Structure 1
Amino acid sequence: MRRVLQTIVFLFIAFSIAAPALAQGAPPQGGSDQPYTIEYYYKVQWGHQQEFHDLFLKNHYPLLKKIQSTGRMLAIKIEAPAYHTTEDGRWDYRVTITYKNSTVATTANPDEEVLIKQLWPDQDTYKREEQRRFEILAAHWDLPVTDITPK
């Protein structure tokens, strides 16, 4: 009996702690046929911000624009912070992409490799420069966001 009581108390405490944590997530984005927005954050090694920016504009931005022209993406915005922050919260570039819907945003683009080969016939240079762009990254994360502005 004592073992059963201990188990019940343990489960009650565990549920009491877990329930509020589970309820704190952001509200889901709109329906499956609604636009879906993701913010992509890039934190670059000190001293390499301009190099990263140049490589991004040369080798990734044209691909994003090409994909946007197919209708998979509705909007692309690139931003940099105006001031510095603490190192643990620092990011150098934020790319916000609004996709046509959540399915498009969360599945691989079957045409991406073809588009890359069309845009950059010199694949050796393209691959070398993309590798360099990722070598100078200190961190990268993706954050789906939900617009909760009241109507």
Structure 2
Amino acid sequence: MHHFKLLTVALIAVILLISGNRASAQKANPAEYFKIEDYYKIKWGYSDEFIALWKKNHYPLLKKLQEKGDVISIEAETPRLHSSEESRWDLKVSVVFKTAALAFDYSIVDPYKLQLFPDQETYKKEEQRRWEIVLAHWDVTVENLPLN
């Protein structure tokens, strides 16, 4: 009887090990990656405040999605030189999602909001402030253009 229990435990361990390796071997297909560039035009004089709030309240959510595997990469850029008022932007964030479906599933961050921001009142006030100082925001979905 003891031998049977030991054999059963060993068999379960082998099955879990094999299934774990199989799951890690199933990587995302780069052909399904979906890139979105988010542009933010901020009220004059408030870009530092906006970027600080973005880093504090939005970036951690994206990092959680990256840890989970739903997001492949996150990049943020600011312009070095100025442009005309009509075409200027103050922050560009490029996010590559594993799939287009994940990119448009806005609820995927919900499980992390309470975990990362237990003081929801402060979080909501800071997010409201972040959006109060935005003059314009637009998202552009982009794809790589093969040159060969």
TM-score (norm 2): 0.77
- The aligned residue for residue 37 of structure 1 is 35
1:76 to 61, 64, 74: 74
Equivalent positions of 1:83-94 (< 5 A) are: 83-94=81-92
Tell me if 1:145 matches 2:142.
Answer: yes
* Counterpart residue type for residue 145 of structure 1: V
- The aligned residue for residue 115 of structure 1 is 112
Gaps of at least 5 residues in structure 2 are 1-28
Quote how far apart the aligned CAs of 1:33 are: 5.9
Equivalent positions of 1:37-76 (< 5 A) are: 37-76=35-74
- Measured in 2, the distance between the counterparts of 1:146 and 1:135 equals 31
Q: Contact conserved, 1:32 with 1:101, CA < 8 A, in 2?
A: no
Give 1 or 2: higher helix fraction. 2
1:131 to 107, 128, 131: 128
Equivalenced residues, count: 120
- Measured in 1, the distance between the counterparts of 2:106 and 2:120 equals 20
Equivalent positions of 1:95-110 (< 5 A) are: 95-110=93-108
